[in-house]
Amino acid sequence: MCSRHLILEDSRSLFRFKVDVEGVVHGTEPRASPQCRRVTHCWRVMPCDIIETECRKREMDLNRVRHVVEIRMAEWQKQREQRQCRLTAAQHIASGKLVAAEKAKALLEAVIRPGDRVCLEGDNQKQADFLADALASVDSSLIHDLHMVQSGIVLQSHLDLFERGIARKLDFSYSGPQGAAIARALAAGKIELGAIHTYIELYARYVMDLTPNVALIAAVAADRAGNLYTGPNTEDTPSIVEATAFKSGIVIAQVNQIVDKVRRVDIPGDQVDFVIQADHNFYVEPLFTRDPANVTEGQILMAMMAIKGIYAEYGVKRLNHGIGFPTAAIELILPTYGERLGLKGKIATHWALNPHPTLIPAIESGWVEQIHCFGSEVGMDEYMSARSDVYFIGSDGTLRSNRMMCQNAGLYACDMFIGSTLQIDLAGNSSTVTPGRIAGFGGAPNMGADPHGRRHPSEPWLKAGREASDGPPALTRGRKLVVQVLETFGDKMVPNFVEELDSLKLANELKLELAPVMIYGDDVTHIVTEEGIANLLLCRGASEREQAIRGVAGFTEVGRGRDRKAVEALRRRGVIRRPEDLGIDLLDASRQLLAAHSIKDLVTWSGGLYAPPSKFRNW
């Protein structure tokens, strides 16, 4: 061993350095000396409590060594030191962890630094709206150029951050009601876009290269130790807090109330730095409520075809439904049309799904065994608490949702995703982008993706894989069923089938590196319209795929451009199936098939437990 070199290591502080007998630092990387060719032999590890003895043996300057130790410790603890500086700056504002609502702006100005990455909890539904307003009101000369990393851009205050120069860069997943404003801000250069993500894609980057310096979150209640009860709308909160708290970030929670003891600890207090009781309850968007009164007979026809031609044929039990009236129609005819087909217990038993009110009749009729939720839905909390055999309910009696876990369930544990879209091109690529709007992705690309990492078999998965492949059965990988359901024309008779997606034009206008495609065509297995079902798994080559899509595109320009002979040949092979091919009479597609005809009917089905938002009440 080389006697002239010494490495001092403090296991508590995780620093390493090398000094020679005169106490001179040679660097933190070992280098072989002429006397010692093997690098590992140049190092000697010893705990700090014997540093003094070892230094004296070598006649080293102990004061110099101590100075070196302090330098190395400071370099390796830089993030913790910065965190402590922020906490110290806010010390006079807080009483323990509690901060008065009127001091929220002062708190943010104390702990946030220019250029910070900030995660402002704007979820799919739950919004930390009080903290959003507080952040939008800070002095932009003190706080500016923030990099916002948040899943949802939903509130006006989210956009105000960029209008006022408080924030500059944005990485997000979903913009929903602010889609047009986001597009305008990008075009005007007010927002520097990092990327548009799927939910779990963004959560993954929270622990890679988009780790927040500060997280502003929302919870139902907190105690004085900072323990949080997030309630049914837990959603993104655990993913945000873990990434921030365990990387020396600051976590600030707005809560509806301060209590002596929270009914359930969803986020431990040692991961929360400050708690503010807001002057109002946090806002929750009722995204998944669809009034049965608005379900059309065209949507009922598509629902009938989907159930008979896909759910029943593949035996789909594990699934996710996207948002929209076409999937609401499917949920509402399970207890009627599905019952007529004798499918109870054979399809649609296990779900990764937000609490859709339109699924209440199917639950009450015994169709559904289990549902794991991304979030909650306004008015559904009491109903879910009373149905703990179906929903994931804590010992406190309320729903525990988790968007990260449910997204993974939808990606890997579901055999089928079925959802609506606004545009489909000739390759089957689908998009929800319309001119001048960027709605983002949310979780649909995860739900509607065929995960190549999946290894557990199921009959629907294997059957879809066999249909898509001509290779040897032993090496044929299964396929997730990814179904797009849409009418051939949308609002104001705008065609939903196009030669080229509007997202390509938008990407060019805004100079985006990647066009915002919701689900790529190579993942789509079926397209359902009022014209029939196109099974893209059975297509062999791009030409057949194009004709199959044209064959269900109706009287749109895309549909009128079909090769009639090719489409008829595909129909004979079962690639395209019309309602009559499935034994469905068009006259049966009636609203009489719906298990509920109104929101009030859903309340009745629930035994009065469902309490719909006021805007859906007309009685």
pLDDT tops 90 at residue 52: no
pLDDT tops 80 at residue 1: no
pLDDT tops 90 at residue 24: no
Q: What is the pLDDT of residues 402-412, one digit of tens each?
A: 999 999 999 99
Give the pLDDT of residue 437: 84
Q: What is the pLDDT of residues 585-619, one digit of tens each?
A: 999 999 999 999 999 999 999 999 999 998 888 87
Kindly state the average pLDDT of the residues 369-389: 97
| Spatial CA neighbour of 116 closest among 167, 51, 53 | 167
Give the pLDDT of residue 619: 78
Kindly state the average pLDDT of the residues 135-162: 96
Give the pLDDT of residue 124: 84
| Spatial CA neighbour of 340 closest among 381, 312, 370 | 312
Cβ-proximal residues to 418 (8 Å cutoff; 6+ apart), any chain: 306, 310, 319, 320, 321, 322, 327, 330, 481, 483, 484, 485
pLDDT tops 60 at residue 199: yes
Catalogue all structural domains in the chain, each as residue range(s) with its CATH number: 6-76 (no CATH), 82-284 (3.40.1080.10), 286-414+596-619 (no CATH), 417-588 (3.40.1080)
Give the pLDDT of residue 76: 84
Q: Which class for 354: exposed (0-12), middle (13-18), buried (19 or more C-beta within 10 A)?
A: buried
**Beta-strand (E) ranges in 132-273?**
146-149, 167-172, 192-196, 214-222, 228-229, 250-258
pLDDT tops 80 at residue 348: yes
Say which residue, 13 or 299, is predicted with more confidence: 299
Taking the C-alpha atoms of residue 173 and residue 194, their distance in angstroms, rounded to an integer, is: 11
Kindly state the average pLDDT of the residues 142-152: 97
Give the pLDDT of residue 2: 33
Q: What is the pLDDT of residues 265-303, one digit of tens each?
A: 999 999 999 999 999 999 998 889 999 999 999 999 999
pLDDT tops 80 at residue 476: yes
pLDDT class for 432, splitting at 50, 70, 90? confident
Kindly state the average pLDDT of the residues 523-537: 98
Q: Are 122 and 132 in contact (CB under 8 A)?
A: yes
pLDDT class for 55, splitting at 50, 70, 90? low
Q: Return contacts of 246-249, CB within 8 angstroms, 24+ apart.
A: 246/271, 247/79, 247/207, 247/211, 248/79, 248/80, 248/82, 248/83, 249/83, 249/211, 249/212, 249/213, 249/214, 249/215
Q: Are 476 and 466 in contact (CB under 8 A)?
A: yes
Identity (one letter) of the amino acid at 79? Q
Tokens describing residue 461: 């998965």
Taking the C-alpha atoms of residue 598 and residue 616, their distance in angstroms, rounded to an integer, is: 10
pLDDT tops 50 at residue 240: yes
Kindly state the average pLDDT of the residues 125-149: 97
Taking the C-alpha atoms of residue 555 and residue 139, their distance in angstroms, rounded to an integer, is: 56
E strand or H helix that includes residue 550: helix 542-551
Give the pLDDT of residue 53: 67
Q: How large a percentage of the chain has pLDDT more than 90?
A: 80
Kindly state the average pLDDT of the residues 4-26: 40
Kindly state the average pLDDT of the residues 40-67: 55
Give the pLDDT of residue 471: 83
pLDDT tops 90 at residue 521: yes
Q: What is the pLDDT of residues 478-488, one digit of tens each?
A: 999 999 999 99
The per-residue pLDDT of the chain, averaged, comes to: 90
Taking the C-alpha atoms of residue 514 and residue 496, their distance in angstroms, rounded to an integer, is: 22
Taking the C-alpha atoms of residue 419 and residue 415, their distance in angstroms, rounded to an integer, is: 14
According to DSSP, the β-strands at 576-577 and 532-535 are antiparallel
